[in-house]
Amino acid sequence: MSQTLSSLARMTLRQLRQIASDLGVSLYSRKSKEELLSAISSRQVGTEAAAETGSVGFMDAGSGLAASATATNLAVLEAELPPPHRPDSETRVVFLPRDPQWAYVFWEICEADRQQAQRAGASQLCLRVADVTGLSNGGAHPHTLQEVPVDSHATEWYLPVPLSDRDYRVELGYRKSGGGWIALASSAVARVPALHPSEQILDQFVPFSLETPPATFPSVASPSASSDSNLHERLYQTATTGWRRLGRGSEAFHELEDSDSSGLGLNASGVGLWASGRNESGAGGVAPRQRSFWLVADAELIVYGATDPSARLTIGDEEVPLSSDGTFRVQVPFRDGQQVYAIQAVAADGEQKRHITLEFERRTPEDNSNPSDQAVAEWF
């Protein structure tokens, strides 16, 4: 024979089908391995016999003998073959969060560990999910361990996540028939993402001095756009248009000071020079005990949000630059009175629009403050 029965038995089904195709075996793709061995052997025997004798009848006889010999010796030959080589594997388990509610786990158990666990009384393959948020040195939070039985022949599993925005570790092992646990491997710690957007915002507050007029406060522009130092003030002026009136507290004093046409003679703190019957220093004719004191306080308003990065965003009549991810964040003065911010986003094609109007009001019912450079000696 061109190929011995032993060498044919070592071949894969795909290799046998290729040989059968070359030899012209009919319906070779539908035959099993035993049928292919029989057909190939008979075809090879018949071809060699026909070449030696030139007789077709002798070829048919040889085919029948080869087929019977193949059927008889195939089981014996396969039993004598060594088992196929399997690469050495390592027991391991991998934990991969898929979304805030589900995680994917896959594992591999080497044969030596499996047999050792079976000898130790293993009965059920399980996955243990432990919450390890904020812990180190392999610790886990008490009362958070969950045990999930899995099929003994499975190599992957989907796990429901107990709680999102937490750190978890998965341990692979066997539950013993008489009670107890046989640990095989542990996964690395993985963070399950939160179900809602993060509440952490990187604050970028404006450095300013309380002693400078509010109109000179710098603005906070988008990180991806050029800074517009007057954007916040223009937004404030737009938001308060139509709502301007004499404010209360410090704003009322500022407005009186800016329009000092009534001849009231108010100083910077909003109090007349002789309102208390003393001079500006607060001292009368008798030298009293004097002490200077001061206080400043103010507020700012932060307007922030997000839209499509390619959209055009306006607040009132002012265009606000967007960062690369479509977010925006501006800080404007928050003075006494009413402020209305009409925010509108227009898509790049100009066909879609979204808008929101925010209205705020600040009141300062009392203001007895003054900056440090205007602190004067007072009676006490």
pLDDT higher than threshold 80 for residue 112: yes
pTM here is 0.34
DSSP state of 189: P
- Banded pLDDT at 201 (limits 50, 70, 90): low
Summarize pLDDT for 218-238 with one digit per residue, the tens. 444 444 444 566 777 777 777
Instruction: Give residue 341's pLDDT.
Output: 92
Instruction: Give residue 179's pLDDT.
Output: 83
CA-to-CA dists, residue 121 to 108, 128, 146, 150, 154, angstroms: 20, 18, 22, 17, 19
Percent residues over pLDDT 70 in the chain: 63
Asked whether 224 and 328 are in contact (CB, 8 A), the reply is no
Phi/psi of residue 56, nearest 5 degrees: -75, -35
Mean pLDDT for the stretch of residues 193-201: 74
Instruction: Give residue 287's pLDDT.
Output: 47
Q: How far apart are CA 250 and CA 248, in angstroms?
A: 6
Q: Between 113 and 288, whose confidence is greater? A: 113
Tokens of residue 156, six digits: 């992957």
Asked whether 100 and 163 are in contact (CB, 8 A), the reply is no
Instruction: Give residue 279's pLDDT.
Output: 47
The percent of the chain in helix, strand and coil, each rounded to the nearest 5, is: 25, 25, 50
Mean pLDDT for the stretch of residues 4-25: 77
Asked whether 336 and 362 are in contact (CB, 8 A), the reply is yes
Domain 92-191 in CATH: superfamily?
Immunoglobulins (2.60.40.10)
- Banded pLDDT at 263 (limits 50, 70, 90): very low
| Helical residues (DSSP H) of the chain, grouped into ranges | 5-9, 13-23, 33-53, 56-80, 111-119, 231-240, 250-258
Summarize pLDDT for 343-359 with one digit per residue, the tens. 999 998 888 999 999 99
Summarize pLDDT for 28-44 with one digit per residue, the tens. 777 888 888 888 888 77
Summarize pLDDT for 117-162 with one digit per residue, the tens. 989 889 999 999 999 988 877 677 767 788 999 988 889 999 998 8
pLDDT higher than threshold 60 for residue 199: yes
Instruction: Give residue 267's pLDDT.
Output: 46
- Banded pLDDT at 183 (limits 50, 70, 90): very high
Burial of residue 59, with CB atoms counted within 10 A of its CB: 0-12 exposed, 13-18 middle, 19 or more buried: buried
Instruction: Give residue 75's pLDDT.
Output: 60
Instruction: Give residue 224's pLDDT.
Output: 44
Number of other residues whose CB lies within 10 A of the CB of residue 227? 12
Q: Between 225 and 203, whose confidence is greater? A: 203
- Banded pLDDT at 290 (limits 50, 70, 90): low
pLDDT higher than threshold 60 for residue 239: yes
pLDDT higher than threshold 50 for residue 184: yes
Instruction: Give residue 228's pLDDT.
Output: 62
Summarize pLDDT for 92-108 with one digit per residue, the tens. 999 999 999 999 999 99
Q: Between 59 and 18, whose confidence is greater? A: 18
Average pLDDT of the chain to the nearest whole number: 74
Domain ranges of the chain: 5-80, 92-191, 214-378
Lowest mean pLDDT among 38-47, 177-186, 264-273: 264-273
Instruction: Give residue 354's pLDDT.
Output: 94
Residues in CB range of 311: below 8 A, 6 or more apart:
322, 326, 345, 346, 347, 348
